[in-house]
Structure 1
Amino acid sequence: MRHVAESATDGQFAYVQEVLGKEYELRHASRIARLRQAAGFPCQKGLDGFEWEGISFPHGFTREDMLSLSFIDRHEDLVLYGGSGNGKSHTAIALGILACSQGRRVLFASTASLVNDLRRANRDGTVQEMLGRLGRCDLIILDEWGYLPTDPDGARLLFRVVSMCYERISLVLTTNIEFSRWGEIFNDDDMAKAMMDRIVHHGRLVTYNRESYRVKHALMREGD
């Protein structure tokens, strides 16, 4: 092998380098595809052409900071808050896809479906196994946080996920529920406060205050 390396021409070295580079690109693309599939995105959405008007970022945290995904490295959370159709889920999906492109493990789920899966795992005695899988993620995106009321058992299971992620795994929540109503949604003021404390401690609130994209572009409005 050493003799071959020493006697190889520059052209041969360049050919081997090209072959290895293509192999790496194929493996990298394959891994990204597997990560995207495993994440459970409901659709594939990017941010090309996305309208940022009406979206407010907190002091010391810019749109560029969010898109850099540096918050994942710091195990920080994002709460994307605003009315229906404002682009919160679109943003969350795009961030998740971007994270996958960087080789990060992502889970995307509606909060209601995650709670249902946790209940099922709890009944089957596999909740620890499920939490273990969640614990291997770099980013967990919970869509429609608080859209449906959660019973005390569901709230306790969700709290276990939030506690597990605290200072270890970044959470991105999309919601139209203000913090003051979390106790109402989760049927337990103390549980809601405990979840809120963990999310807010290392969290950023991004506010969407604009007309619903779906309403703005609805076919029913044509001719107005």
Structure 2
Amino acid sequence: MSTTSTSLRAAASAEGEQQQTLAMLLRALKLPAFAAHHEELARRAGQEGWTCPHYLRQLVELELSERRGRRIERLLKASGLSTDKTLATLEQEKLPAKVRRQLPALCEGGFIERAENVLAFGLPGRGKTHVVSAIGHELVQRGYEVLFIPAVLLVQRLLLAKKSLLLEKELRRLDGYDAVIIDDIGYIQQDREEMEVLFTFLAQRYERRSVLITSNLVFSQWDRIFKDAMTTAAAIDRVVHHALILELTGDSYRSEKAKSRETVDKAPRRAPGDE
């Protein structure tokens, strides 16, 4: 075996060891994109004549992009948002004109920075849940922590924490979300304990964190939720003080779809071979 061949093999072995060591160090530093792509980008850098700063910048941008993607995936999984109620599936042409105008700014998330609330009112089937869910999805894409939860389940969660003497801890946990979407607040049972924990939650987030609420009950009917006039007024005051109101009017989406299906079902069917 020639001295040249021996030297080449030794160099290749040393380079391989260096690559393994580098990969270990990058994983220890929690830089998985660096570890996965540094060799591929190094070859490209050699072919295209990149400078060292340019090569490093490409790696950093790739790491940040993949890290952001993983974070959004985690946020979306923890949000409880329905995967099919997004902005892409929202039939915006059926929304009232004012709501359509408000939607882009809400999706940007500025209201969260101002600790404002969003209240969506309308009769059943008007798209309230879809609208706030679509906003929630857009907020997650911008890195905000969002929780979607039906009002009934939120109250049950708070009641369970209270009975276990853990209400304060549960409120702190919920406080970690930039926005909590409370769906169908009008369907809470008429129970004083339920009213108290819901009021406590709303009061705790007042002027600090945002809530998005859907309701088929207008404010004048909220005494059905909070029982007495004083608590109802206090709750409304806290929710409305810094709030954007979406009024979902028009026909019921569900009724329209049911009518469409009925029309299709009643349509005469042609026999095979008919023109």
Q: Normalized against structure 2, the TM-score is what? A: 0.72
Distance of aligned partners of 1:51 and 1:19 in 2 relative to their CA distance in 1, 3 Å threshold: same
Which residue number in structure 1 is paired with residue 162 of structure 2? 122
AA in 1 matched with 2:241:
H
| Pairs within 5 Å for 1:14-93 | 14-48=54-88, 50-55=91-96, 57=98, 62-93=102-133
* 2:121 aligned counterpart, secondary structure: strand
Match 2:143 to one of 103, 115, 122 = 103
The gaps in structure 2 that reach 5 residues or longer are: 1-45, 268-275
CA displacement at 1:22 relative to structure 2: 1.5
* 1:100 aligned counterpart, secondary structure: helix
CA distance in 1, matches of 2:126, 2:96: 9
CA displacement at 1:152 relative to structure 2: 0.8
Identity %: 29
CA displacement at 1:183 relative to structure 2: 0.5
CA displacement at 1:194 relative to structure 2: 0.8
Q: How many residues align?
A: 215
Which residue number in structure 2 is paired with residue 4 of structure 1? none
Larger radius of gyration: 2
CA displacement at 1:101 relative to structure 2: 1.2
CA displacement at 1:186 relative to structure 2: 2.7
Q: Deviations over 1:29-60 (max 9, x none)?
A: 110111111111133422125224342548xx
**Does residue 1:170 correspond to 2:210, yes or no?**
yes
After TM superposition, what 4+ stretches of structure 1 lie above 4 angstroms from structure 2? none
Contact 1:149–1:186, Cα closer than 8 Å, also in 2 = no
Q: Normalized against structure 1, the TM-score is what? A: 0.88
Match 1:204 to one of 244, 248, 253 = 244
The gaps in structure 1 that reach 5 residues or longer are: 1-7
Task: Please identify which structure carries the higher helix content.
Answer: 2
Q: Deviations over 1:61-105 (max 9, x none)?
A: 833332322111111111101111211111111111111111111
Which residue number in structure 1 is paired with residue 29 of structure 2? none
CA distance in 2, matches of 1:185, 1:191: 10
**Does residue 1:186 correspond to 2:236, yes or no?**
no
* 1:146 aligned counterpart, secondary structure: helix
